[in-house]
Amino acid sequence: MKKPDLKKLKEIDFKKAAKDFVYGKPHEERRLGDLYIPKTGLYKHREWRGIKDTMYYFNNIWLYNYGKMVMDIVELGGPKGLIQFLKGTWRYRWMGECYLTVMHWFDRGLEGMRGPALRASAWHYRAMVNASITQIVGMFVRDQNLGGNKELHDKTIAHDETVWGGVFYPYKDQLENIPLQMIPYFVTCHVNNHVVLNYIDAVQAYGLPGDPCPMCQAEAGLFIEDDVPDFYPALVTTNEACDGSVATSVIQDWLINKPLFAMPQPMQFDDDSVLENCAKEIEGCFRFVEEQCGVEFHWDELVKHLEAQNELQRFEWEKWDVDANTPYYPINGVAQALYRIFQSQYGDRPIWHEVDGRVRKIMEKCVEEKIETFPKTRHRVIAWSCAPLYYSNWCTWAYNCWGLNTVINMDSLMFDMEIRTDSYENCLMDMAKYHEWAPMRRMAVGGLHHIFELWENMEKFNCDMVMMYDQLQCKGMQGVVGLFEDEFRARNIHAIWMPHALPDKRTIPRSQIRQIINDYMTTVMGEEPLDPTLLDFDDSDSW
Amino acid sequence: MKAKKNIKRTVGALAAAYAGLFCVFYFDLDGKLLYYVVEPFMKRHFDNMERRDPHTVPYEQIDSEYMKK
């Protein structure tokens, strides 16, 4: 038996070790990169965050959310819902390969978080999981491929994920609206990005070119692979964000072969006459839904849900105020970005209100007690343009490694409005505007002066650095790279270009994204990493 | 006496289960099981699944009738 090295034992500072055990190690001593098993992104062991935060993570995040992932299914679908859920897990790849990896999505986003930042960000994740399960159960209990309920099927409208769920508020007491691709495509890219590659490959194997937006490719690939539940009698599509998605709609239309209403969003949406036209199209959509699903327009129902959505918007403004003007904002970059886009696009649901209530308490405590939630912040970063879905947690890494705190991002700022409910006309006009301000369209491909809203938001949120996403297959945004370069130079702004291919990690791997940031931080900013073990590690095969 | 013993046993079993779950959590055993066993199994299942051939789907557009209205 090997004798213990007494010299080494003597060198251990037991007092400090005990302190680290109780409170967790200081940021600079954490060595989070050492926890990874190479390639996989798995942990040799999960991070020890001190007794309080580790036990919070174990009890209130890990155990709680695993439990809720079962309870939510039963609550939303009943015992039969659970059976349908299991059938769906066996039938659809995006479900079978993704669902159980959810807690590792939490892990990636919440690495290194402590105290209120850990708690508030985790609540945002919890809301997204519940909203996802709502859709998944909704699809499976209606799915005719799985022998689902035909009556419910006939009272359901499907829509492109970029059609705002609020368009269907007047019918919420009579039908369910479920986005076609929000779970099979969007959410799975974040949770387990191995899955989406099948759909991209499927559509390219079918003969479609490989250079259009991979989001459009993947969404079309879902239908080529026949991997979408049959839960609806009719669907509403859109052209958003670009002509790539029009092509997706064509493929969907062919393979779905059901009544379809196309509700395009105009490219130049500032023109008032365009707004009127858009309002007419929403009314056309109302008629389509009424004819296809046999439902009636209920004004009171519309007002009820719009008022509830306005309440969510007002809290979002309160959050932005704290975020912009204090160091006490408890939500990290990835939780802010994903929660906001999910909530504002999917529309009013009870879980958003429940979680906002919890986050409000945490945030108010931080403000009252002046708790600096991200104490190692060296730079306040605004992230602009469309983010890499396979590496949405880059901002967690960037904070842990470099102290880059992503305080706000473009997608959070899109739906920056309340909707009037004082008259049908005002309401419809505001709904049209909200519909026009869709993800990516609002800023990224909505006109030059909108994409240049970056400058005013930089000032508003007190940012000193820009993380400029460069989606290599977005033809719209590729066209303005040079203009941004000129402006960054003229305004003397530190900006890092982050190339990516939206859902496809094979084009620009996550390690390359990190290397680009590392290079900028060392060569241009001349800074040292907070945690050098995070500079370079291999997570090429991780979820 | 017997009831006391049962309570002790139950509490002991719950404590052991809690400790076991903590080990699963701390050593990322859930992740390892999913990554090395569950995902490859499901992947094989989905790779071998028979799927509709898109070529067999006709180009008919039933919604065009609706659009004519």
From the list A45, A226, A253, the residue facing B26 with the nearest CB is A45
A104 in contact with chain B, both atoms CB, cutoff 8 A: yes
Residues of A in contact with B48 (CB under 8 A): none
The mean pLDDT value for A416-422 works out to: 97
The mean pLDDT value for A253-269 works out to: 89
Residue of A nearest to B37 (CA): A97
A228 contacts A180 by C-beta, under 8 angstroms: yes
The mean pLDDT value for A432-447 works out to: 87
pLDDT confidence of residue A477: 82
Q: Do B31 and A224 touch (CB under 8 A)?
A: no
Res. A333 pLDDT band, cuts 50 70 90: very high
* SS3 label, residue A300: helix
B43 in contact with chain A, both atoms CB, cutoff 8 A: yes
The residue segments making up the domain with residue B15 are 2-49
B54 in contact with chain A, both atoms CB, cutoff 8 A: yes
- Check: pTM over 0.90? Answer yes or no: yes
Q: Do A257 and B32 touch (CB under 8 A)?
A: no
pLDDT confidence of residue A229: 97
Alpha carbon of B35: minimum distance to chain A alpha carbons (Å): 8
A153-166: b (≥16 Cβ within 10 Å) or e: bebbbbbbbbbbbb
Res. A36 pLDDT band, cuts 50 70 90: very high
Average pLDDT of the residues of chain A: 95
pLDDT confidence of residue A166: 97
Q: Do B25 and A62 touch (CB under 8 A)?
A: yes
A455 in contact with chain B, both atoms CB, cutoff 8 A: no
Task: Check pLDDT > 70 for residue B61.
Answer: no
Element (H, E) at A147: none
pLDDT confidence of residue A325: 98
Q: Do A194 and B39 touch (CB under 8 A)?
A: yes
Segment among A57-61, A140-144, A162-166, A262-266 with least mean pLDDT: A262-266
Segment among A51-55, A96-100, A287-291 with least mean pLDDT: A96-100
Average pLDDT of the residues of chain B: 89
Q: Pairing relation of β-strands A260-262 and A176-179?
A: unpaired
A483 contacts A447 by C-beta, under 8 angstroms: no
Structural domain contains residue B22: yes
Structural domain contains residue B55: no
Structural domain contains residue B68: no
Q: Do A101 and B62 touch (CB under 8 A)?
A: no
* SS3 label, residue A218: helix
Structural domain contains residue B54: no
Instruction: Choose the mutation target among A58, A228, A541 for the interface with B, i.e. most B CBs under 10 Å.
Output: A58
Alpha carbon of A1: minimum distance to chain B alpha carbons (Å): 27
A424 contacts A136 by C-beta, under 8 angstroms: no
The mean pLDDT value for A124-138 works out to: 98
A481 or A419, which is more confident? A419
Task: Check pLDDT > 60 for residue A19.
Answer: yes
Structural domain contains residue B27: yes
The mean pLDDT value for A309-329 works out to: 98
Res. B64 pLDDT band, cuts 50 70 90: low
ipTM of the complex: 0.93
Alpha carbon of B2: minimum distance to chain A alpha carbons (Å): 32
Task: Check pLDDT > 80 for residue A257.
Answer: yes
Residues of A in contact with B37 (CB under 8 A): none
Structural domain contains residue B16: yes
pLDDT confidence of residue B63: 54
The mean pLDDT value for B11-40 works out to: 97
Q: What is the DSSP string of A383-446?
A: EESPPPGGGTTHHHHHHHHH-EEEEEEGGGGSS------SSHHHHHHHHHHHHHS-TTTTTTTS
Number of domains in chain B: 1
Q: What is the DSSP string of A269-293?
A: TT-HHHHHHHHHHHHHHHHHHHHHH
From the list B22, B25, B35, the residue facing A42 with the nearest CB is B35
Task: Check pLDDT > 70 for residue A185.
Answer: yes
